Amino acid sequence: MANLLLAVIYVAFVSLGLPDALLGAAWPTMSRDLGASVSWAGGISMTISACTIVSALLSDRMTLRFGAGRVTAASVALTAAALFGFSVAPNYWTLLAVAIPYGLGAGGVDAALNNYVAIHYESRHMSWLHCMWGIGASLGPYVMGFTLSDGLGWAWGYRIIAILQVALTAVLVLSLPLWKARGDAARGGTASVAAPDDASRNEATAGRRPLGVSGVLAIRGAREILVMFFCYCAIESTAGLWASSYMVIHGGMDATSAASLASLFYVGITAGRALSGFMTMRFDDPTMIRIGQAVLAVGVALVILPIPGNAGAVAGLVVAGLGCAPIYPCVIHSTPAYFGAERSQAIVGVQMASAYVGSLAMPPLFGLIAQYVSIALYPWYLLALLALMTAMHERLRALRG
């Protein structure tokens, strides 16, 4: 039963990654067809992020009331409905409206599913699941590219992904007895994969009230792990968004080559998470986070070094991606160990909110720095965020290690 549920969760992570890059892939065509400015994609993206933050903050309350399986199924269904909405939207303002349920669904499933895996499965599965998400996120643009090149249009790109999400919703609904059976077994002390004390953890969770943001912030060490997550997601989103511009403006590379080579950062993350899954069999989560931070520092250093022909920047992006790979899944997976399963859903929810705030705020902040100071500060900006993340991790270890 546990393995069957795990297979469902793996499929879920692949499917959940599929829509994440659709807007970027389709927007040049969508904006023309809908009479929208190219820059207006930012409004849709910000609406999705804002609603994701809201649903992530509500995830503790929702999961306590309905359970992780129901919240995941309902959130995926909401995402599927929103994707169908995108496919039939007649104008930009409809897209903005449909972005609201899309963001609410995405945040709900992100927090619920990540915390469930962190409590019930070993660290290697968390890394491999996020690798599966990366594969899904990479395949989404190919689906959109196929529909555009085949004359079906961007609407069918969204519809195909929506149909896949509907299929996933059906699978999740059918799998609800597996979620319940695993919970019952954990309460009986017989089905823990991740830790032997799942029974006591489930008993402690039963009947507790939602913590809320203030309750989370009052927990010793919670502020540190939230800042860590903020910094990590700020690094990942800033590195990915500005890599191409940095190589073009600072390194003199042609725009076509820079666009292709910048994607190597995400290739590094996806490949790194596949490798990290094997490494977690030998190293615990804090060690994996430290390894990731060290490799990330090496990658940023390569970007800084004046190696001719942008070779340092390209190699640095790949290495930085490899360094990023274990940090996100291992921070999430370590949360129940630091704070207890009875509080981890609340903390993971606020973590996800912190992540989206970092992704939402920090890349535009660097854009202002690039415009008014110099884009040459790109690696130094990443390095400053890395230094703060590392300091917070070491402080967390001192407080709760």
In the chain, count H helices and then E strands. Answer: 18, 0
Q: In terms of residues, how long is the chain?
A: 401
CATH 1.20.1250.20 segments of the chain: 2-210, 215-400
Whole-number pLDDT of residue 23: 75
Whole-number pLDDT of residue 377: 93
Q: Name the one residue in this structure whose structure tokens are 């400015």.
A: 37
Please give the structure tokens belonging to residue 241.
């968004």
Q: From the CB of residue 33, how many other CB atoms can be counted at a distance below 10 Å?
A: 11
CB 232 within 8 A of CB 393: no
Cα–Cα nearest to 108, from 75, 149, 134, 60? 75
As a whole number of angstroms, the distance between CA 54 and CA 317 comes to: 32
Whole-number pLDDT of residue 153: 83
As a whole number of angstroms, the distance between CA 334 and CA 331 comes to: 5
Please, what's the b/e burial string for 205-224 (b: 16 or more CB within 10 A of its CB; e: otherwise)? beeeebbbeebbeebebbbb
Global pTM reads: 0.79
Whole-number pLDDT of residue 194: 39
Please give the structure tokens belonging to residue 304.
């800084």
Please give the structure tokens belonging to residue 147.
């529909």
In Å, what is the CA distance from 137 to each residue of 17, 120, 161, 354? 4, 25, 11, 21
- Amino acid at position 233, single letter: C
> Going residue by residue through the chain (401 aa), what tens digit of pLDDT does each one get?
567 888 888 888 887 777 877 777 677 788 888 888 767 777 887 888 888 888 888 877 787 777 778 888 888 888 899 999 998 988 989 988 999 998 888 877 777 778 888 887 788 888 888 888 778 877 777 787 788 887 888 889 889 889 988 888 888 888 888 776 655 555 444 333 333 333 334 444 455 676 777 888 888 888 999 999 999 999 988 888 788 888 888 888 777 777 667 778 888 888 898 899 899 889 999 999 999 999 999 999 999 988 877 788 889 999 999 999 999 899 988 988 888 877 887 888 888 888 888 888 888 888 888 888 998 999 999 999 999 999 999 999 998 76
Whole-number pLDDT of residue 348: 84
As a whole number of angstroms, the distance between CA 310 and CA 186 comes to: 53
Name 128's Cβ contacts closer than 8 Å, sequence gap at least 6.
10, 273, 274, 277
As a whole number of angstroms, the distance between CA 128 and CA 133 comes to: 9
CATH number of 215-400: 1.20.1250.20
285-304 and 264-279 helices, crossing angle to 10°: 150
As a whole number of angstroms, the distance between CA 279 and CA 290 comes to: 13
Sign for the pseudo-dihedral over CA of 139, 143, 145, 146: positive
- SS3 (DSSP) at 28: helix
Please give the structure tokens belonging to residue 79.
């995402």
Q: Name the one residue in this structure whose structure tokens are 């990366």.
A: 134
As a whole number of angstroms, the distance between CA 63 and CA 102 comes to: 19
The CA-based dihedral angle spanning residues 109, 217, 359, 251, taken in that order and rounded to the nearest 10 degrees: -140
Please give the structure tokens belonging to residue 78.
């909401």
Q: What is the pLDDT of residues 342-385, one digit of tens each?
A: 788 788 888 888 888 888 888 888 888 888 899 899 999 999 99
Q: Homologous superfamily of 2-210 in CATH? A: MFS general substrate transporter like domains (1.20.1250.20)
Cα–Cα nearest to 322, from 377, 384, 279? 279
- SS3 (DSSP) at 251: coil
In Å, what is the CA distance from 231 to each residue of 184, 195, 245, 354? 37, 28, 21, 9
Q: Name the one residue in this structure whose structure tokens are 């970092």.
A: 358
Residue 220 backbone class (left: φ over 0; alpha: ψ -120 to 50; beta: rest): beta
CB 329 within 8 A of CB 350: no
